């Protein structure tokens, strides 16, 4: 992703993820929240001409190198733009079920079984305090890990590649689920786009 950044179209209709995620939430989340991150990211990178030529993922993998006058704005809004762009893609109306291929093997090897992985991931996401994201990541040595980051911080800053992610900000689920984050997580598994997770693994 390069400057000027653009809001990506959803790869499905706004109501396509019902009932796991309702149409109204998708409109607010994509058209308002994500759009705002894109707008504010462009405003920040406009003040850093050198950064306009660097890929966003590369910028965010070394946040300490961002000039101080735009650092916080780029970490927050650039992280938001990158994470949401991934979040839309790892969901699908034909999602759910279990992973296949090499990523299924890797999950089994790291966590014992898909069921054990799913339980761990759900527990991590449900117990993470405040606004943030829970990720499945892969390290350069091929090791998988489940971890959470606050705000819009990305695992790439710690040299980890994201394979799967869930948005835990209240705006991701509040309209439909209110404070019942665990119910949102449970229903989210029905729309996880495992072919996309496999693709993320293969181009890690």
| Binding residues for Mn ion (CB under 5 A) | 167, 169, 172
Is residue 61 a contact partner of residue 159, using CB atoms and an 8 Å limit? yes
Tokens of 134: 């829970």
The minimum distance between CB 83 and Mn ion, in angstroms, equals 8
Residue closer to Mn ion by CB (options 84, 161) is: 84
- Owner of token pair 């695992």: 155
Residue closer to Mn ion by CB (options 80, 95) is: 80
The minimum distance between CB 47 and Mn ion, in angstroms, equals 25
Is residue 184 a contact partner of residue 173, using CB atoms and an 8 Å limit? yes
Q: Please give the Cα distance from 106 to 138 (Å, whole number).
A: 10
The minimum distance between CB 29 and Mn ion, in angstroms, equals 6
3-state SS, one letter per residue, for 65-119: HCCHHHHHHHHHHHHHHHHHHHHHHCECCCCCCCCCHHHHHHHHHHHCCHHHHHH
Q: Which residue is nearest to Mn ion (CB)?
A: 167
The minimum distance between CB 69 and Mn ion, in angstroms, equals 26
Residue closer to Mn ion by CB (options 32, 202) is: 32
Cβ of 155: how many Cβ atoms within 10 Å?
24
The minimum distance between CB 46 and Mn ion, in angstroms, equals 23
Residue closer to Mn ion by CB (options 111, 173) is: 173
């Amino acid at each position: 992703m390069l400057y000027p950044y653009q809001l990506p179209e959803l790869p499905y209709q706004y109501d396509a993820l019902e009932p796991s995620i309702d149409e109204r939430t998708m409109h607010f989340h994509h058209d308002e929240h994500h759009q705002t991150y894109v707008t504010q990211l462009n405003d920040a990178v406009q003040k850093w001409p050198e950064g306009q030529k660097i890929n966003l993922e590369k910028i965010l993998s070394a946040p300490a190198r961002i000039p101080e006058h735009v650092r916080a704005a780029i970490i927050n809004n650039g992280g938001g733009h990158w994470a949401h762009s991934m979040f839309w893609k790892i969901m699908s109306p034909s999602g759910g079920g279990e992973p296949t291929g090499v990523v299924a093997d890797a999950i089994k090897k790291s966590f014992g079984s898909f069921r054990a992985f799913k339980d761990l991931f759900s527990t991590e996401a449900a117990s993470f305090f405040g606004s943030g994201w829970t990720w499945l990541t892969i390290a350069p040595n091929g090791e998988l890990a489940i971890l959470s980051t606050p705000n819009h911080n990305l695992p790439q800053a710690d040299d980890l590649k994201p394979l799967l992610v869930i948005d835990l900000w209240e705006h991701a689920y509040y309209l439909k689920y209110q404070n019942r984050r665990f119910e949102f997580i449970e229903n989210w598994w029905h729309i996880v786009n495992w072919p996309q997770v496999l693709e993320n693994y293969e181009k890690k």
